[in-house]
Amino acid sequence: MAGSQETYGKKEREKKRLKKQEEKRKKREERKANAKKGGGLESMLVYVDENGQLTDSPPDPSKKVEIEAEDIILGIPKKEESEKEDPVREGTVDYFDSSKGFGFIIDAENKERYFVHVSGTVEEITEGNRVSYELERGQKGMNAVKVKIVK
């Protein structure tokens, strides 16, 4: 007396497999039916209209704007020379160590601190002096040069 070789688990796995095959077949038929209706590549295309919005219809050629290649600027536009900034600035000596030969100046306009070396001074300065100076790019940032006391 031998028992059945088909167990409950085997039956369930077989049902799942058949169900999956049936779903695949239905999806395939659905895709074929949609392909005949024009659901191919055309349905996947997206266009950009004259306002930059995405749309499914092609743009109107009458609204097309022609742009000359020379009008396209690549990079940063050149700065106009009309606004020449005065290179001489004013500030106050915040700290100056005459034994070491350097210090810092606080700008009167933007309150930034600039390094000053004794070689960049025209006359001797001390802490608290109102000075005029010019800026020059140094190794570690902007340095004050041509430093003079404002009278």
**Tokens encoding 61:** 């050629």
How far does CA 87 lie from the centroid of its chain? 31
For residue 142, list its beta bridge partners.
137
Structural domains of the chain, with CATH: 11-70 (no CATH), 89-149 (2.40.50.140)
- The token pair that represents 85 in the structure block: 């900034």
Residue by residue, pLDDT tens for the chain (151 residues) are: 566 678 899 999 999 999 999 999 999 998 888 766 655 666 678 888 888 889 888 888 888 888 899 988 888 877 766 556 678 899 999 999 989 999 999 998 888 999 999 998 999 998 999 999 999 998 888 999 999 998 7
Which candidate, 135, 111, 113, 132, places its Cα nearest to that of 123? 132
